[in-house]
């Protein structure tokens, strides 16, 4: 073979190897971008679902809280509801009995409470307020759980983005390095002949 033919063949091999490297890198970048895009879309869907759940929890909270607020106002208007509200929201082992005043001769476990109408109203309002706090607490716990899901999704997206920026998993990077070494060895071998 002529020297010119060997040089042309060597140049063609180098150009072909370079084109193969660039094409290979382009394919890997597209794969990484597609994986990142899929992770980002899944995260966006999760965030949307979490926001919908938070909105539903908030609406439920506001409805239930408003109903209890209305009930609290009704106790002021109709004090006859107070014993039932106390029974519903401040349960006791035995019903509250209205008896005589406490004296020094009264036994410690004897029922001796005397409740005025205002006492019953105050107790009923406090019982409703406690129920409102319990509802708010449950709602906030649900919202926190949804926010935690978003944080986990953000963390996974960040890991996927970092992995994509590095060029894929460690195995993919190792295989790519072996490919480059193999192509370089092939070019060296062809140039040597």
DSSP conformation class of 70: H
Q: Round to whole Å and give the CA distance between 150 and 46.
A: 7
pLDDT at position 158 is: 78
pLDDT at position 190 is: 67
Can you say whether residue 168 is alpha, beta or left, with left for phi > 0 and alpha for psi between -120 and 50 degrees?
left
Query: Which stretches of the chain are DSSP H helices?
Result: 3-77, 82-89, 117-166, 170-192
Q: Round to whole Å and give the CA distance between 83 and 75.
A: 10
Q: What does residue 116 show for φ and ψ, rounded to 5 degrees?
A: -85, 170
Regions in the chain scoring below 70 on pLDDT: 1, 3-4, 80, 91-116, 164-169, 173, 189-193
Residue whose structure tokens are 């706090």: 133
Q: Round to whole Å and give the CA distance between 108 and 118.
A: 25
Q: Round to whole Å and give the CA distance between 193 and 188.
A: 9
CA dihedral 23, 28, 29, 34 (to 10 degrees): 130
Residue 54's nearest CA partner among 180, 139, 156, 171 is 139
pLDDT at position 92 is: 58
């Amino acid at each position: 073979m002529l020297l010119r033919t060997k040089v042309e063949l060597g140049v063609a091999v180098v150009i072909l190897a370079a084109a193969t490297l660039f094409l290979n890198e382009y394919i890997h970048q597209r794969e990484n971008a597609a994986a990142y895009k899929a992770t980002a879309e899944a995260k966006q869907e999760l965030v949307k679902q979490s926001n919908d759940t938070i909105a539903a929890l908030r609406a439920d909270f506001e409805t239930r809280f408003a109903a209890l607020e209305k009930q609290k106002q009704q106790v002021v208007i109709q004090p006859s509801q107070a014993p039932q509200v106390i029974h519903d929201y401040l349960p006791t082992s035995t019903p509250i009995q209205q008896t005589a005043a406490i004296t020094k001769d009264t036994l410690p476990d004897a029922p001796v409470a005397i409740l005025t109408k205002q006492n019953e109203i105050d107790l009923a309002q406090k019982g409703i307020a406690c129920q409102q706090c319990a509802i708010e607490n449950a709602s906030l716990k649900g919202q926190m759980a949804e926010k935690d899901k978003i944080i986990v999704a953000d963390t996974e997206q960040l890991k996927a983005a970092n992995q994509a920026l590095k060029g894929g998993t460690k195995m993919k990077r190792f295989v790519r390095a072996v490919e480059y070494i193999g192509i370089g060895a092939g070019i060296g071998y062809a140039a040597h002949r």
